[in-house]
Amino acid sequence: MIEIRKGDLFRAPSGIICHQVNCKGVMGRGVAKTFKEKYPYTFKLYTSFCRKYDPIELLGKVMLLAEQDGKYSCCMFAQDDWRGHGCNTNYAAFKECCEAIKQKIERRQLGDIVINMPYRIGAGLGGGDWQIIYSILEEEFDGYNVVLWKLN
């Protein structure tokens, strides 16, 4: 089930805080910038991942970490680049990220944990088509609790 709530993604009471990242090690704007400020250790690991792997190898992968605030953070590598106009979101990689999140939830036995994402994930600065992304979310997370947070 997908629910849309008004509010700040980072004030979600529990669960996994997910956001889309590029494969270049840059979190300079939007949700990514806030994510970097909120979870500096995760940002450090993210940049290390980006230096260690070829960007194409990272597409479709996720980095899921337990955070000190009792939540999990999740970087979804679904964007090869972060600049330019048009669509930087890779839909196939986004879908793979959703599948990887489900696998990690199962492996870690997290049960019916809430998956929190920004409303219009991948469609804002990522330039993706929201209808395509939303349909991927509906298909991939059927039977899961997903909350899309819409900041005022």
- Please tell me the total number of residues recorded for the chain in this structure: 152
Q: What would the pLDDT profile of 120-147 be if each residue is shown by its tens digit?
A: 999 988 889 999 999 999 999 999 999 9
Of 65, 82, 102, nearest in space to 21 by CA: 82
CB atoms within 10 A of CB 12: 18
β-pairing verdict for 62-66 and 72-79: antiparallel
- The CATH number of 2-150 is which of 3.20.20.10, 3.40.50.1010, 3.40.220.10, 3.30.360.10? 3.40.220.10
- Three-state DSSP at 121 gives coil
**What does the domain layout of the chain look like in residue ranges?**
2-150
CA-CA distance, 40 to 34, in Å (whole number)?
10
pTM check: above 0.85 = yes
Give tens-digit pLDDT for 5-45. 999 999 999 999 999 999 989 998 889 899 999 999 999 99
Per-residue pLDDT reduced to its tens digit, 78-101:
997 655 566 789 999 999 999 999
